[in-house]
């Protein structure tokens, strides 16, 4: 999606049947994400000033573990000039845009997906013809932006954007969060939420809007509210009870969706007898957060007590190899050796993991800044210096060849770092 754009053009109309099919087919897809970022409210800026959001209608559909949230927004241009603006819609990590539409001559026109450069070219061509275009592109941090033109003088611009997300499952329930953080009063506000094929009543656990109460309707639960001159400034959190082994089935013509919750049990990893520790000494690691890396090693060595460690220091070449025997969690000799590391050169993984290393697991401390990736022949735990290393294509691909993987980011600030490995989770916040 990052290499593609959603382009809205006057000539395109999406049939309702195909749209419903697409929604249900999309719901079948499962996405797994390690990080969660806060989601913020949409804004529309023109000439470095934010245009006021006049009305907002939100529709939420929940099917199994998937939720589709649709924002129907109207922005007001108080100036006497026709404007071109930029819509910014930051989404939570793991959320994906599934619909984008713009009102043209009183009717909504749906977007189509086109290649990156084609989208830009088409947008400029449509602007020259003075026809309403909109170009939606995905930026960094899951922030979606759209160029909107024209925004009529002393007039309104209606924009519809929908996104899908996988709901968090915890303590026999799914949790849905809606980031209502608007500061200004909305002339009109509405919220409707439908939870399909739901046996137990959903509960608002955080925030709340007067009148927001779920009622049972045809084996589904639904709620809706409408407000005038309303300030929607309290985020909502809704708990959707779902006991273990609950099964949901939704059908639409020749398409169906099935979802079932299962009981999972954690299992402690067997303590390793030998560890291969790959320590990146390239120049890009010079300012590494070594305190957090050492905090991890301290906790891990205290947990496993006795182990043989083969240290492999590397950059774009193999710098050195040395063995350390850890007894009763005492790793002071290894720590002193790591502290004395000299950082220089680039980073290259291509031939690093081709060595015949006889170890139970591997710990890789690096930042992922390499053009080539090797593969592990044993269980690997990848630990990165920056947050970008979470699931990065470089470290992730190399680790993916192993029988087990955990990716950890050691940030340069004081943010928490979690390692999911032997015996549970270590939290170094």
* Residue 202 backbone phi and psi in degrees, to 5: -65, 155
Does some domain include residue 265? no
For 196, which DSSP code? Answer: T
Does some domain include residue 404? yes
CA distance 188 to 231: 10
Based on the fold, state whether residues 249 and 114 are members of the same structural domain: yes
Note the pLDDT of residue 408: 44
Confidence of residue 396 (pLDDT cuts 50, 70, 90): very low
Note the pLDDT of residue 423: 32
Q: What is the mean pLDDT of the chain?
A: 75
Confidence of residue 126 (pLDDT cuts 50, 70, 90): low
Based on the fold, state whether residues 240 and 285 are members of the same structural domain: no
Based on the fold, state whether residues 282 and 245 are members of the same structural domain: no
Based on the fold, state whether residues 238 and 327 are members of the same structural domain: no
CA distance 36 to 52: 29
Does some domain include residue 414? yes
Does some domain include residue 191? yes
Does some domain include residue 417? yes
Based on the fold, state whether residues 148 and 224 are members of the same structural domain: yes
Q: Distance of alpha carbon 67 from its chain centroid, rounded?
A: 14
CATH number at residue 399: 3.40.50
Based on the fold, state whether residues 181 and 227 are members of the same structural domain: yes
Does some domain include residue 267? no
Q: What is the pLDDT of residues 225-256, one digit of tens each?
A: 999 999 999 999 999 998 877 787 777 788 88
Q: Which CA distances in Å does 99 have to 59, 70, 160?
A: 13, 8, 8
Q: What is the pLDDT of residues 313-365, one digit of tens each?
A: 999 889 999 999 999 999 999 999 999 999 999 888 777 766 667 788 888 88
Residue 25, both tokens = 């087919």
Range of the domain at 392: 274-427
What lies within 8 Å, CB to CB, of 240 at 6+ separation is 62, 167, 173, 174, 175, 176, 195, 198, 200, 202
* Count of domains for the chain: 2
Based on the fold, state whether residues 230 and 279 are members of the same structural domain: no
User: Which of these ranges, 31-45, 115-129, 188-202, has the smallest mean pLDDT?
Assistant: 31-45
Based on the fold, state whether residues 63 and 166 are members of the same structural domain: yes
Based on the fold, state whether residues 254 and 281 are members of the same structural domain: no
Note the pLDDT of residue 426: 37
CATH number at residue 160: 2.60.40.1730
Based on the fold, state whether residues 408 and 325 are members of the same structural domain: yes
Residue 428, both tokens = 């170094």
Based on the fold, state whether residues 227 and 91 are members of the same structural domain: yes
Q: Which CA distances in Å does 163 have to 1, 44, 134, 209, 240?
A: 13, 18, 17, 22, 19
Does some domain include residue 53? yes
Based on the fold, state whether residues 148 and 51 are members of the same structural domain: yes
Does some domain include residue 108? yes
| H-only helix segments in 55-192 | 116-128
Task: Give DSSP secondary structure letters for 238-299.
Answer: EEEE--TT-EEEEEETTEEEEEE-------PPPPPSEEEEEEE-SGGGTT--HHHHHHHHHH
User: Which of these ranges, 16-20, 47-51, 121-125, has the smallest mean pLDDT?
Assistant: 16-20
* Residue 298 backbone phi and psi in degrees, to 5: -60, -50
On the 0-12 / 13-18 / 19+ scale of CB atoms within 10 A, 47 is: exposed
């Amino acid at each position: 999606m990052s290499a593609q754009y959603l382009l809205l053009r006057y000539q395109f109309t999406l049939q309702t049947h195909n749209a419903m099919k697409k929604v249900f087919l999309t719901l079948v897809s499962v996405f797994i994400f390690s990080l969660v970022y806060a989601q913020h409210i949409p804004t529309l800026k023109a000439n470095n000033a934010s245009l006021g959001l006049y009305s907002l209608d939100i529709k939420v559909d929940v099917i199994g573990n998937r939720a589709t949230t649709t924002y129907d927004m109207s922005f007001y241009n108080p100036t006497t000039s026709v404007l071109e603006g930029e819509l910014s819609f930051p989404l939570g990590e793991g959320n994906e845009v599934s619909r984008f539409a713009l009102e043209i001559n009183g009717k909504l026109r749906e977007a189509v997906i086109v290649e990156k450069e084609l989208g830009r070219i088409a947008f400029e061509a449509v602007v020259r013809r003075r026809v309403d275009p909109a170009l939606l592109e995905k930026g960094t941090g899951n922030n979606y932006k759209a160029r909107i033109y024209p925004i009529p003088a002393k007039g309104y611009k209606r924009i519809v954007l929908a996104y899908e997300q996988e709901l968090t499952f915890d303590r026999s329930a799914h949790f849905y969060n809606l980031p209502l953080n608007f500061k200004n009063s909305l002339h009109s506000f509405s919220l409707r939420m439908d939870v399909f094929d739901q046996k137990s009543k959903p509960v608002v656990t955080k925030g709340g809007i007067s009148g927001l109460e779920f009622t049972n309707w045809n084996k589904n639960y639904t709620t809706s509210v409408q407000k005038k001159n309303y300030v929607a400034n309290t985020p909502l959190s809704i708990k959707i009870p779902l006991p273990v082994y609950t099964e949901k089935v939704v059908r639409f013509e020749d398409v169906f969706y099935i979802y079932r919750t299962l009981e999972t049990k954690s299992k402690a990893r067997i303590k390793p007898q030998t560890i291969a520790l790959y320590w990146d000494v390239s120049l890009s690691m010079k300012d590494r957060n070594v305190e957090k890396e050492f905090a991890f090693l301290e906790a891990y060595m205290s947990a496993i007590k006795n182990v043989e460690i083969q240290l492999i220091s590397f950059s774009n070449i193999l710098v050195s190899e040395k063995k350390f025997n850890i007894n009763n969690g005492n790793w002071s000799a290894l720590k002193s050796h790591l502290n004395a590391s000299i950082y220089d050169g680039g980073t290259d993984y291509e031939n690093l993991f081709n060595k015949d290393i006889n170890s139970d697991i591997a710990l890789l401390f690096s930042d992922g800044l390499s053009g080539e990736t090797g593969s592990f022949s044993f269980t690997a735990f990848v630990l990165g210096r920056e947050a970008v290393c979470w699931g990065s294509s470089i470290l992730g691909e190399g680790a993916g060849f192993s029988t087990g993987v955990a990716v950890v980011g050691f940030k340069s600030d004081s943010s928490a770092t979690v390692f999911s490995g032997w015996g549970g989770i270590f939290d170094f916040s």
